[in-house]
Structure 1
Amino acid sequence: MNKKQLSERDICTKFITPALKEAGWNIQTQIREEVSFTDGRIYVRGKLYTRGAKKRADYILYYKPNIPIAVIEAKDNKHSVNAGMQQALGYAETLDIPFVFSSNGDAFLFHDRTVKDGDIETELPLNTFPSPEQLWLKYKAFKDIADEVDPIVAQDYFADGSGRSPRYYQQIAVNRTVETIAKNEGDNRHLLVMATGTGKTYAAFQIIYRLWKSGLKKRILFLADRTALIDQTIRGDFRHFKEAATVIKNKKIDTAYNIYLALYQGLSDNNNNDAYKQFSPDFFDLIIVDECHRGSAREDSKWREILDYFAGATHVGLTATPKETKDVSSSEYFGDPLYTYSLKQGIDDGFLAPYKVIKVTLDVDAEGWRPPKGFKDKDGNPVEDRIYNRSDFDKNIVIDERRTLVAEKITEFLKGSGRFSKTIVFCVDIEHAEGMRTALANANADEVARSSKYVMQITGDNEEGKRHLDSFISPSEPYPVIATTSKLMSTGVDAQTCKLIVLDSNIGSMTEFKQIIGRGTRINEDYGKNYFTIMDFRNVTALFADKEFDGDPVRVKDAVQDDDISGTEDEADDALLIDDLTGETVEFPDPETPDVSFVAEETEEYRTRRKVNVNGVEVVILKERVQYMGHDGKIITESLRDYTRANIRSACATLDAFLSKWKQADKKRAIVDELEEHGILFAALQEEIGSDFDPFDLICHIAYEQKPLTRRERAEQVRKRDYFTRYGDLARNVIDALLEKYADDGLADLENPAIITLDPIKQLGTAPEIIRAFGGKAAYDEAIHDLTEELYAV
């Protein structure tokens, strides 16, 4: 056997896998080959998108199904034994795996990430690969896991037989949390930061399950501040707890359960009727706090009293947006995050939907509006003579024409992208949401005539709208399509198929901004949701450029900070909260809760606060631009051509370099696939430049400013050269048919071996007859190669 002639897969099958089995690794439960651990980033340009390549490890080894312990990168024998090490190390860092190997079938290079002094890399013969127990002992020593903690750390995940298992980042979050709690090193407060849409609740379920099943934690409380969060949780992953779990309602306590789900409001109120005191302070030994950046982050909040009462329990905070200001700190209470999985990382991995931004600038917003002398409002009262700007509109003054234009712009987008694309319009307050519902109903009169639920106001005070919130969230329910809201839908709403988020509110809070963006980040490919669009009328997306947008949380509480972006006037307008289940007014002094605009209609402040309403004002769009998310997670304004040129030139700096790469490629389609994996959308380019052009010509034209030829022009050039006269009649007829096929369909079909079985080629003869006409398979392949070279002759 000549190893040099074997493929990488043959090396795995004949040398690496047998070495692993000989070392004691179970091929059924401990060895996984060709493991894709990301979904491949989605790239968006225009209305089109493509997925990039998935990250895939050749081998991941598991001590237990929940504990990945080693990664192996294989190469064929033409490479050295250490050729795959850098790639493997990159995977290991992402996957939080300590032991890394590369192999070419001759030996293993072992990189031990747990080594602090001495040789970090050693070469091992094939027959000396470490056993599972050897690596597990090294793992435990590295993680400082004592023998008595071993059963807790090794406790299996919950498995329901569906084949569902945690994604790699969920696995890291769960394992780090379980290991930290199991070691019990004196700190009983912990924080996990995971972007919206990445499955925090599923991770929480697995943490609770493993700690409960191992016997370490016997009574657990899952604490939230929104009814929707509790309802989604008990109906979702927590349903597997069955009779062991209960939801605390109406402040009725039954101590017979193991797992409790509760609202803060269900455990406490302002009248000292604190239901949580029916439990003894040591009743719970684990408390999971969902969305912990909200009420519980404040030292002086009523909600913090509940956590302080159960101070002896282990507290784990979950959030996508840790709150870190001069007054409030999630990390001061919960500690620095055990693990952070950001929005940017989720998009890079392809687990979260990317976004494009349509930024619309209205003249009155950019330049301000000053009423002419003697101008009166709709009630006939004089309008104060001053300049009104973006922060005034819909809060202090309402311009009918502005709302109409915003509604028309939203409708124009939906008519171009899909009238039934679920849309959330974020407004300044409840009155603005009411007004936008009317403006959107008028702009979409045709659809509203079919169903009055096409546009609905879904706010904390609107019972009819709240009843349809579940229908809006459900992918299978067509209505409502457009939801106007203020704060209700900014968090805790699992809107899987939301394709358009409209920002027509003056959002200054980074926390709120992240939560709002999170409404669109879920992917649901079954319903065509692969990316979403943000339509910004208030320049809110300028927050994307803020260093806080997707960085790790930094503790700044008690620091001097004059430019605190999170303490805006919009958040502190009201301290009253209407519970979204009961409709009761609850007073919790927490200005950062996302529900702050749910002001009870009957309050004097709401009744007396007056907005000036005017009409007869001309409002026009000054500027509109489309922005995309770049490779580094930053928003960029760039044309499709500029984007394509930059990406192609990063791979091939010159035309000569590209032509050389194209000529040397066995299959031209491979180059096209590679470029598409890096975000080049040839379908979008053909839509903009012309569908008759081959990817080769699109590349040469856009990246290197060459004159493009259509596919038919290239085919005719080959015919004029009469290059294939050396073949017989049948072969020449096949070549002519192939040229015609190319002119119609492009290079993909030309390089496909099955093309001779398709019309019109198959009309000329059977596949064996066609192959024989060229003198055999090798001669046919050579003819196709020559034909390709002739087509792309420069």
Structure 2
Amino acid sequence: MEHFAPAVQLGLTATPRRKDNVDTYDYFGEPVYEYSLHTGIEDGFLTPFRVREYTTRMDKYIYTGDDEVLIGEVEEGREYTEADFNRKLVIQAREKYRVELFLQAVDQRQKALVFCATQAHAALILDLINQLSDSLHADYCQRVTADDGARGEKALKEFQDDERTLPTILTTSQKLSTGVDASEVRHVVLLRPVNSMVEFKQIIGRGTRLHDGKEYFTIHDYVEAYQHFQDPEWDGPPQDQTTSRPYVAPEDRRVEEVADEGLNELALCPDCDNHPCVCERPRREITEIRLSPHKVVQIDSMVRTMFYDSSGRVISAEAFLHQLFGDLSELLKDEDELRRLWSRPETRRKLLQTLEEAGYSDAQLEDLRRLVQAENSDLFDVLRYVAYSKKVLPRLERATRARAYLSDYDANQQEFLNFVLDQYVKAGYEELDDSRLGALLVLKYHSVPDAKRVLGNPATIRQAFIELQGGLYRESA
């Protein structure tokens, strides 16, 4: 660098400060400008995200005599917590249930990265995903860790190739938290605690790459990592790791505990899974438990969706609803205005655009519909429910009411408008956009000229299409 000393030198980095890159910061000094994740999302250079938080009855465990100890010894009366699972204690039924929850929640064709506690845990999760997924391909899920060597590198390269669909899911422990550029990643799954803010940012970064059709990615949080979002360091200057906690000699720590200091998983001993190698020391015993049948049945869960608001904070669903209520009150004078705007395609589009500019993306509004258990209802009814506490009507009920207003049309027009209502019930309000009219005519009559022969001139068809929506969203008597 000194060779170029007369020139102006500009240092750019996307890596937070840590021990293995501290020389960069020493050379260039403190950053003069920082570009946050939130700003990158807001400017359209990074993909926004949502958070799904999972809690189960097996997030903590105390041994009881009806469970079977398969391997090792269990400490009776001890409460095992997330930090113990899959390092000191393995309960396969617990891991299976978590995998089932994940697979049920996602489109299984979308790519995902799963972060596990250890390499052995990553192997277990790989087996469970391949057993429980809908895919019949043996390569659907693969593991990429130090033990996997060239095979793992090959799997990673294929995963990063947007033209390939397999492997679809990768499991890992530490290796993929940095240096993975896979733009199609739609899901980041956390099955192990992430104690370092630096590592947390790096893991979240695996999903932020832009890709066509990727409106957002989802963080599936089984370990309460969402608490990092409340930390001031989350979207601000990175914390200097050298002062983040008391120093402990590396030889006394497992690699998972020092990964944020720049140690790469490739340094793990393939036999003892530690860095540095501790093969000469007595290896810590891992206990494996088989739950009693009634406990397996009793494992239950709660899934909570967290939202990313317009200011860059991750907030709860309750806070999101409260915020939306306030914003709708400012955007709309009353329910009649909402109805008027929603009843015509052009004003509906403008309202949705206004909501998006206020921080409510299509994906978030779709999550909102699920949140209030209104998957079969119109978004209009969801907004009406949030803003004015009105009953949410199913789309089928709305369509049934609208059919009562079709008597003024001739038989052919009634047939087409009933067809439009059927499509609305199946797919939602998007079918009512005027940009969809041509496609609906072709779907019903095979071509636009054939539709014109049956229904009359285009202006008449369009007028009926628009008027139908007025009846669809009309206030019931």
TM-score of the two chains, using structure 1 as the length reference: 0.47
For residue 177 of structure 2, what is the aligned residue in structure 1? 490
**Structure 1 residue 601 and structure 2 residue 270: aligned?**
yes
In the aligned structure 2, how far is the partner of 1:323 from the partner of 1:571?
A: 23
Establish whether residue 704 from structure 1 lines up as the match of residue 388 from structure 2. yes
Give the distance between the partners of 1:313 and 1:437, measured in 2 at CA.
51
Per-residue CA deviations over 1:48-90 (Å, capped at 9, x if unaligned) read xxxxxxxxxxxxxxxxxxxxxxxxxxxxxxxxxxxxxxxxxxx
Assess if the C-alpha contact under 8 Å between 1:430 and 1:485 holds in 2: yes
Deviations 1:492-537 (A, max 9, x none): 1102112221111221100000001111111221xx5432222222
Structure 2: how far apart are the matches of 1:766 and 1:497? 45
Q: Secondary structure at the residue paired with 2:112?
A: strand
The answer to whether the aligner puts 1:713 opposite 2:393 as a matched pair is no
Deviations 1:760-793 (A, max 9, x none): 554244459x69xxxxxxxx98x99988777766
The answer for the alignment partner of 2:290 in structure 1 is 616
- Which residue of the partner structure matches residue 79 of structure 2? 387
Asked if 1 retains the 8 angstrom alpha-carbon contact of 2:47 and 2:210, the reply is: yes
Matches within 5 A, 1:645-660: 645=325, 647-658=327-338
What is the aligned partner in structure 2 of residue 378 from structure 1? 70
Q: Distance in 1 between matches of 2:439 and 2:56?
A: 56
Contact 1:377 1:383 in 2 (8 A): no
Residue 459 of structure 1: aligned partner: 145
- Residues 582-601 of structure 1: per-residue CA shift (max 9 Å, x gap): xxxxxxx9961152574223
| Match runs of 1:318-357 below 5 Å | 318-323=12-17, 331=25, 333-357=27-51
Contact 1:400 1:613 in 2 (8 A): no
Cα displacement (A) at 1:486: 1.4
Structure 2 residue 207 is the aligned partner of structure 1 residue 533: no
- 1:401 aligns to 2:80 (yes or no): no
Give the deviation of 1:741 after TM superposition.
6.8
Q: Which runs of 5+ in 1 are unaligned?
A: 1-219, 221-281, 287-311, 577-588, 723-730, 772-779
Alpha-carbon deviation of 1:659?
5.3
**1:476 is the counterpart of 2:163:** yes
TM-superposed deviation, 1:384: 6.2
Equivalent residues of 2:114, 2:169 under 8 A apart: yes
1:398–1:611 Cα contact (<8 Å) kept: no
Does the residue aligned with 1:337 lie in a helix, a strand or coil? coil
Q: Which residue of 1 aligns with 2:232?
A: 547
- Secondary structure of 1:428's counterpart equals coil
Deviations 1:323-353 (A, max 9, x none): 279x979755532324322211222233322
Bigger-Rg structure (1/2):
1
Q: Counting strand residues as a fraction of each chain, which structure ranks higher?
A: 1
Deviation at 1:686, TM superposition (A): 8.0
Corresponding residue number in structure 2 for 1:108: none
Residues in 2 aligned to 1:413 and 1:666: alpha-carbon distance in whole angstroms: 32
Residue 316 of structure 1: how far off its partner (Å): 4.9
Structure 1 counterpart SS, 2:62: coil
Distance 1:716 1:637, change over 3 A: same
Alignment match of 1:369 (pick from 46, 61, 84): 61
1:763 paired with 2:454, answer yes
Instruction: Give the drift of 1:489.
Output: 0.6
The 8 Å contact of residues 396 and 611 in structure 1, kept in 2 or not, is answered as: yes
* 2:53 is aligned with 1:359: yes
1:527-554 CA deviation, whole Å, 9 max, x = no partner? Answer: x543222222211121111111011347
- Kindly report which structure 2 residues correspond to 1:59-98, keeping only aligned pairs within 5 A, or say none: none
Paired AA for residue 127 in structure 2: T
TM-score in terms of structure 2 length:
0.73
In the TM superposition, what is the alpha-carbon distance from 1:382 to its structure 2 partner?
Answer: 5.9
1:497 alignment partner AA: E
The 3-state SS of whatever aligns with 1:461 is helix
Report the Cα offset of residue 711 of structure 1: 4.1
Aligned to 2:307: 628
Give per-residue Cα distances to partners, 1:588-643, cap 9 Å, x unaligned.
x9961152574223565156332322222346234322222222222233279777
- The one-letter code sitting in structure 1 at the alignment partner of 2:191 is D
Name the amino acid aligned to 2:347: K
Q: Which has the higher contact order (CA 8 A, sep 6+)?
A: 2
Measured in 2, the distance between the counterparts of 1:498 and 1:616 equals: 34
Q: For 1:571 and 1:763, how far apart are their aligned partners in 2?
A: 82
Amino acid at match of 2:114: V
Q: Write out per-residue CA displacement over residues 408-441 of structure 1, whole angstroms, 9 at most, x where no aligned residue.
A: 3333335xx12x3222211222232233333334
Q: Quick check: 1:422–1:482 contact (8 Å CA) kept in 2? A: yes
Q: Which residue of 2 aligns with 1:285?
A: 4
Alignment partners' CA distance in 2, 1:411 and 1:753: 37
Q: Pick from 316, 320, 328 the counterpart of residue 637 of structure 1.
A: 316
- Residue 652 of structure 1, CA deviation: 1.0
State the alpha-carbon separation in 1 of the partners of residues 347 and 387 from structure 2: 17
Amino acid at match of 1:483: L
Cα deviation code 1:269-292 (max 9, x no counterpart): xxxxxxxxxxxxx5x428xxxxxx
Q: Is the 8 A contact 1:571 1:592 kept in 2?
A: no
Q: Is the 8 A contact 1:383 1:612 kept in 2?
A: no
Measured in 1, the distance between the counterparts of 2:265 and 2:73 equals: 31
Q: Measured at CA, do residues 655 and 565 of structure 1 come closer, stay the same or move farther in structure 2, by a change above 3 Å?
A: farther
Q: Where do 1:175-574 residues align within 5 Å?
A: 284-285=3-4, 316-323=10-17, 331=25, 333-365=27-59, 368-372=60-64, 377-379=69-71, 381=73, 383=75, 386-414=78-106, 417-418=107-108, 420-444=109-133, 447=135, 450-463=136-149, 464-525=151-212, 528-553=213-238, 564=244, 573-574=253-254
What secondary structure, in the 3-state scheme, does the structure 2 residue paired with 1:339 have? Answer: coil
8 Å contact kept, 1:472–1:480:
yes
Distance 1:763 1:353 in 2: 46
Cα distance in 1 for partners of 2:266, 2:153 equals 15
Q: Can you list the C-alpha shifts for 1:195-244, whole angstroms capped at 9, x where unaligned?
A: xxxxxxxxxxxxxxxxxxxxxxxxx8xxxxxxxxxxxxxxxxxxxxxxxx
The 1:409–1:497 alpha-carbon spacing in structure 2 relative to 1, beyond 3 Å, is same
Aligned-partner SS, 1:358: strand
* 1:294-315 Cα shifts (integer Å, max 9, x gaps): xxxxxxxxxxxxxxxxxx9976
The whole-number CA distance in structure 2 between the counterparts of 1:348 and 1:431 is 39
Return the structure number with greater helix share.
Answer: 2
Instruction: State the AA in 1 paired with 2:186.
Output: K
Take 2:376 and 2:361, find their aligned partners in 1: how far apart are those partners?
16
Offset at residue 487 of structure 1 (A) = 1.2
Shift of 1:700: 3.9
Which AA in structure 2 matches 1:616? R
On the 8 A contact 2:72/2:285 being kept in 1, the answer is no
CA separation of 1:594 and 1:354: change in aligned 2, threshold 3 A: farther
Specify the alignment match of 1:89 in structure 2: none
- Output the CA distance in 1 between the equivalents of 2:419 and 2:32: 57
Q: Is the 8 A contact 1:429 1:597 kept in 2?
A: no
RMSD of aligned residue pairs (Cα, Å): 4.6
2: CA distance between counterparts of 1:647 and 1:435?
46
Closer, same or farther: CA 685–318 of 1 in aligned 2, 3 Å:
closer
Aligned length: 438
Identical residues among aligned pairs (%): 27
- Work out whether residues 140 and 169 of structure 2, in 8 Å CA contact, stay in contact via their aligned partners in 1: yes
Rounded to whole Å, the distance in 1 between the matches of 2:232 and 2:452 is 59
Q: How many Å separate the matches in 1 of 2:54 and 2:9?
A: 44
3-state SS, counterpart of residue 340 of structure 1: coil
What is the aligned partner in structure 1 of residue 445 from structure 2?
Answer: none
Is contact 2:82-2:223 (8 Å) kept?
yes
Cα shift at 1:671: 3.8
Q: Residue 703 of structure 1: SS of its match in structure 2?
A: helix
